[in-house]
Structure 1
Amino acid sequence: MAMETTGCAVVGGGPAGMMLGLLLARAGVRVTVLEKHGDFLRDFRGDTVHPSTIRLIDELGLGGEFRRLPQSRLKNVVLPVAGGPPVTMGDFDSLRPPYNYIAMMPQWDFLNFLAAAAAEEPSFTLLMSHTATGLVRNGGRVRGVRLRTPDGRQDELLADLVVATDGRHSVLRAAAGLASKEFPVPFDTWWFRLPRYPAETGEVAGLVPAFGPGEALVSLTRTDYYQMGYLAPKGIEARLRAEGVEGFRRRIAALRPDLADRVDAIGSLDDLHWLDVRLDRLQSWHINGLLCIGDAAHAMSPAGGVGINLAIQDAAAAAQYLAPALLRGRVTRADLQAVERRRRLPTVIVQSAQRLMHRAVFGPVMAGKQTRVPAAALFVARHLPAVRRIIPRLIGFGPRPEHAPAFARRAEARPQPYP
């Protein structure tokens, strides 16, 4: 069996893994990213790129190329009002340009963009269709990753450090025996698309929720379709499947009568993409030789759409702290602890906000006790304009946004206008 070696083995080619690989490679670290799929083409993975991430991309000198990718801009969060005009809860125009919007784009475009930038660095390697299956240990330390190659062979990749970015169902955090603290979540989400007709007006990427007894619907207006998220209580999947596609269409039409004329676009229940919503946090993010970041360290609720960007901030901090140690060829527990210490507090703050949203909004809705936007939320949106500026700041940048490390920046890094 071949024994390949690298400086840092990053397991998981999602946003955190690809960003970490790019940043470390720009420091000159030998880094290998393992991605179990053969491509990045998986629909309805998080596709919001927040201002904190856009600023990081600008600092890397990649802003112009990023803005040329197909995308739309989310500028506000709107609350529906029965019998009246909608109320704006958060207005991203209140943020300082050019970081006054959330970019909406398919995640595969974003990952291909990061992969192309990383491929320009001679110390970067991306191995697609390579599945991590376990850890290589020796002398009380993680020394690498056990993996399965595209042709089914078992192999090992030895590394000075392994970073798990393989998501909420992380194989490596399970292999390491890292314990997590679970928080209750009252709902799961089913994502799907509905067509948007050319004659329809309305701001592209506007976010509009709708509420019913024991269910909710979120709509993101895209250029030629609506990205829909149906929220229902956990454990209801068997009931939805028993009702069949016709029953699901009726649910959507009742929540959004204005879209009832196109629910036939849901051809079958196979058109729905189920997300098992989880909210958890590892008690410790590392063991000797292994660090978990992103969803592997803290699975996030979709509330606020902040999971991807929190993971990318983890990657930026990890690169800042770990690149010098990796270049020395010796990463200590203290180095890993420094990353966790830097990122734990913002994670706790964001997850606390999500838990509050679960209790105040989603819990009552899923229990059938609330069928409309809470009156308190409408009052705040109407009468406290400062909140409309604070919410975009919290969503867009979070409690501790990270900057690109100096070693990863390029001289041409200047904010570019949106075309």
Structure 2
Amino acid sequence: MSAESSHVIIIGAGPAGAVLANFLATRGIRVTLLERQSDFAREFRGEAIAPAGRAVLSALDMDDVLDRVPHADPSVFELFLKRKRLVHVTLQDFGADLELPRIYSQPALLEAIVGETTKRTNLVFERGASVKELLRENGRVVGVRVRNTEGERRLFADLVIGCDGRASVVRRQAPLEVASEDLPMDVAWFKIAAPEDWKGECRLRACVENGHLMIGYITYDGMLQLAWVIPKGSFGEIRSRGIEALVGDMADHAPADLADHLRRHVQELARPFLLSTAADCVRNWSVPGALVIGDAAHTMSPVGGQGINIALRDAVVAANHLVPVLQDGADPVAIDAAAALIGGERMSEITQVQTLQARPPKIIFGSPRRANILFSLARVIRFAPVRAIVGRFVRPMFEGVSDVELRV
């Protein structure tokens, strides 16, 4: 290197932030990684990591670590329409070479990634550090004002990277213009004990009926994770009726075995967690001295569980552009020029995935008659040529729609 490497502040130790910190630190760049939470054990995080996301973690030589993180491998897909089963197939039937998503404990996964990352002597990781303000000099972001249990202080860096989610401080204070799309639904998440007959195989079940959708799957801890898709903004009214009424609504739209299980275990249901869905993307990912990636740059719909995977791929592209200029020293013009290229490279994939994600909600919350007809056609999945066509459709969601490879 021709000069001392630059210093980077990364805000948010979620998948994008932790992985990018690892990429930069292992290449000799000084990194301060700030995480607002004191630990990663939140009530619910996205847990599905597709092959495209796992490939990023493999680039960190984390295959052995990944195998040790608690996980589950869905193997069977079932589709019910009006409480009658239309489809029961193994996911491998959609393509022998099709790698499948894996359900991880994300708190354990993040601890594993951060644990590997903090082995680097040029990385400082702080938990419980909340960024309150971007600091500027001559129109350029030069650092942050951060608060922890010991008080407030100012940290300076050659580049500030926001990986701090949809409520990003960097996105808001830069400020970055956002293009958003209205989604018709929210999602209520629950966990309960899994039915006994589900424990022999890792099922993914979707139940559709007249504008209602429930998805259930076995998680890494052997529990049943349920997603109840509800009209946008209706959670308050639903919650006010009580958990018994909510479970009753779900049971009324579930096949008999699952309905009975829900009613018998109503008292065991954890407090529902609301995922208020959103789909948006900032028009420009950077301003002088600051950059956003992951959910801070683009909030993804929950359809297909793409948020983690897209964020991980953002980290790869960011590393490709930033590492060469950061290793060469703190030239602000070169750093800002490199940061400005990242969003342009990522926009094609994000736009395509968000377009794919927008289709199922429009069907489910559109005309019930049209939805029932379309889902009835799913019967033909039992034919191998049809499964091959479906496999080609879902492959981009699993493997990515553009080539993303670590080049540094």
Q: TM-score under structure 2 normalisation?
A: 0.89
Counterpart secondary structure, 1:207 = strand
Unaligned runs of 5+ in 2: none
Distance change (3 Å), C-alpha of 1:57 and 1:235: closer
Counterpart secondary structure, 1:332 = helix
**Which range moves more in the overlay, 55-64 or 155-164?**
55-64
Alignment check: 8 A CA contact 2:8 2:32 kept: yes
Q: Which amino acid aligns with 1:212?
A: E
Distance change (3 Å), C-alpha of 1:295 and 1:95: farther
Alignment check: 8 A CA contact 1:188 1:276 kept: yes
Q: Which amino acid aligns with 1:311?
A: A
Alignment check: 8 A CA contact 2:118 2:124 kept: yes
Unaligned runs of 5+ in 1: 407-419
**Which range moves more in the overlay, 252-261 or 272-281?**
252-261
Q: Percent identity?
A: 26
Encode CA deviations 1:16-64: one digit per residue, 9 max, x unaligned: 1111111111111111111111000013211112112222222322212
Counterpart secondary structure, 1:38 = coil
**Matches of 2:7 and 2:70, distance apart in 1:** 34
Distance change (3 Å), C-alpha of 1:131 and 1:243: same
2:401 corresponds to: 399
Q: Which amino acid aligns with 2:137?
A: N
1:211 aligns with 2:212: no
Q: TM-score under structure 1 normalisation?
A: 0.87
**Matches of 1:264 and 1:288, distance apart in 2:** 57
Counterpart secondary structure, 2:348 = helix
Distance change (3 Å), C-alpha of 1:200 and 1:90: closer
1:362 corresponds to: 364
Alignment check: 8 A CA contact 2:134 2:143 kept: yes
**Matches of 2:373 and 2:214, distance apart in 1:** 11
**Matches of 1:380 and 1:213, distance apart in 2:** 21
1:221 aligns with 2:223: no
**Which range moves more in the overlay, 153-162 or 107-116?**
153-162
Task: Quote how far apart the aligned CAs of 1:263 are.
Answer: 4.0
1:305 corresponds to: 305
1:414 corresponds to: none
Alignment check: 8 A CA contact 1:210 1:372 kept: no
Q: Which amino acid aligns with 1:297?
A: A
Q: Which amino acid aligns with 1:86?
A: V
Distance change (3 Å), C-alpha of 1:168 and 1:268: farther
* Map 1:20-31 → 2, pairs under 5 A: 20-31=20-31
1:136 corresponds to: 135
Query: In structure 2, which of residues 236, 239, 251 is the aligned counterpart of residue 238 of structure 1?
Result: 236
Alignment check: 8 A CA contact 1:134 1:146 kept: yes
Matched positions, count: 396
Task: Quote how far apart the aligned CAs of 1:391 are.
Answer: 3.4
Alignment check: 8 A CA contact 1:380 1:387 kept: no
Task: Quote how far apart the aligned CAs of 1:241 are.
Answer: 1.9
**Matches of 2:236 and 2:15, distance apart in 1:** 32
**Which range moves more in the overlay, 260-269 or 237-246?**
260-269
1:162 corresponds to: 160
Counterpart secondary structure, 2:80 = strand
Task: Quote how far apart the aligned CAs of 1:362 are.
Answer: 3.1
